[in-house]
């Protein structure tokens, strides 16, 4: 079901780009915006692992340095039918984890020192199952594709904005009058962002489900999420701990959440994630 929803949302976002792009940018503007967005996000896609690992100051660890961690990753990768990802540890005391790499052959899983200190072996296995599910599901590719389309829509909106300011909408073309154009310019990037966030949340649910199956016990991840959520509430991360722009990569949001921040989160409510996992155990 999660895969169908993701495909539907991606299709909806692409339809928004094609329809609105044609109206406010014309065919040429639409093509230019798409290829500029593709170039910008393509660089990020191919270097996503290096960028992420650098942001968290994560270091690769050998089997001799982290034997238990490597054994868990070995088991989960074999269960998922993918090459074993590289294993990294970040010296951050906030319990968290992430996966990166543009495809399973270039997969990387990383955990923080705080996660290793907080969780037991089964809970670590649940977390790593989630991250390996992201790699097996090619979620980096999916999120990158969504980012390309969303960026292209925002770019078209900016092009239309400047065209109306400097062109004065003299031709009366595009979507008709200036007011309608301005409304379209304002709303389309917001709609694209909402769809992009919905895709991200759907992929998190899918990774929870698949990760629980890989670990062969959904309660491993459910219990891990409970512990990490309690830690985040008691000791929310600061910008000195973690770069807020990297929050979407992590298994949970380590920052204090509320108001619009919760509304525009890349992650589903953690309580719902735990509820779904616990229902799988029944």
pLDDT digits (tens, 9 = 90+) for 243-281: 887 888 899 999 876 555 555 678 899 999 999 999 998
Q: Write 23-26 long-range contacts (CB < 8 A, 24+).
A: 23/174, 23/175, 23/184, 24/156, 24/157, 24/159, 24/160, 24/174, 24/175, 24/181, 24/184, 24/185, 24/188, 25/156, 25/159, 25/160, 26/174
Res. 85: pLDDT tops 90: yes
**E strand or H helix that includes residue 244:** none
Q: Which residue has the higher pLDDT, 262 or 239?
A: 239
pTM of the full predicted structure? 0.82
Q: Which of 35-44, 86-95, 172-181 has the lowest mean pLDDT?
A: 172-181
Nearest alpha-carbon partner for 234 in 41, 30, 93, 32? 93
Which distant-in-sequence residues (6+ apart) come within 8 Å of 161 by Cβ? 182, 185
The gap from C-alpha 21 to its chain's centroid, in whole angstroms, comes to 25
Confidence band (pLDDT; 50, 70, 90) for 174? very low
Kindly tell me the sign of the dihedral angle through the C-alpha atoms of 125, 85, 90, 226.
negative
Whether the pLDDT of residue 175 is over 60: the answer is: no
Residue 44: closest CA among 158, 155, 143: 143
Query: Taking the mean position of all CA atoms in its chain, how far away is CA 67?
Result: 29
**CA distance to 44, 139, 203, 224, per residue, from 248 (Å):** 14, 12, 11, 18
pLDDT of residue 166: 55
- The Cα–Cα gap between 67 and 61 comes to 9
Average pLDDT for residues 168-182, to the nearest whole number? 55
Q: Which of 75, 123, 131, 204 is catalytic?
A: 131
Q: Which pLDDT score, from 0 to 100, does residue 278 have?
A: 97
Annotation marks residue 131 as catalytic: yes
Number of neighbouring beta carbons within 10 Å of residue 71: 13
Listed in sequence order, the DSSP H helices in the chain are 2-46, 48-55, 67-80, 113-118, 121-136, 139-167, 178-215, 218-234, 260-263, 270-280
As a whole number of Å, the CA-based R_g of the chain is 21
Burial group, residue 58, by CB count within 10 angstroms (0-12, 13-18, 19+): buried
Which is more confidently placed, 163 or 202? Answer: 202
Determine the pLDDT at residue 178: 63
């Amino acid at each position: 079901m999660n895969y169908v929803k993701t495909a539907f949302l991606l299709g909806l976002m692409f339809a928004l780009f094609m329809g609105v792009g044609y109206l406010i940018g014309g065919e040429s503007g639409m093509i230019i915006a798409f290829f500029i967005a593709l170039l910008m996000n393509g660089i990020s896609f191919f270097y996503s692992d290096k960028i992420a690992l650098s942001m968290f100051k994560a270091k690769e660890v050998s089997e001799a340095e982290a034997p238990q961690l490597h054994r868990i990753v070995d088991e989960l990768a074999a269960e998922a039918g993918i090459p074993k990802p590289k294993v990294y540890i970040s010296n951050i005391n906030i319990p968290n984890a992430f996966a990166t790499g543009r495809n399973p052959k270039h997969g990387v899983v990383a955990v923080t020192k705080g996660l290793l200190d907080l969780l037991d072996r089964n809970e670590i296995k649940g977390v790593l199952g989630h991250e390996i599910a992201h790699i097996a599901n090619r979620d980096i590719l999916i999120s990158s594709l969504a980012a390309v389309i969303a960026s292209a829509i925002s770019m078209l909106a900016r092009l239309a904005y400047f065209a109306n300011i400097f062109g004065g909408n003299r031709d009366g073309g595009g979507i008709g009058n200036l007011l309608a154009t301005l409304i379209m310019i304002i709303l389309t990037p917001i709609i694209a962002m909402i769809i992009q966030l919905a895709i991200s949340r759907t992929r998190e649910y899918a990774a929870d489900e698949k990760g629980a199956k890989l670990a062969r016990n959904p309660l491993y991840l459910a219990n891990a999420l409970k512990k990490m959520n309690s830690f985040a509430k008691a000791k929310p991360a600061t910008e000195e701990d973690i770069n807020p722009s990297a929050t979407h990569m992590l298994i949970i949001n380590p920052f204090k959440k509320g108001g619009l921040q919760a509304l525009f989160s890349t992650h589903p409510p953690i309580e719902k994630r735990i509820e779904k996992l616990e229902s799988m155990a029944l």
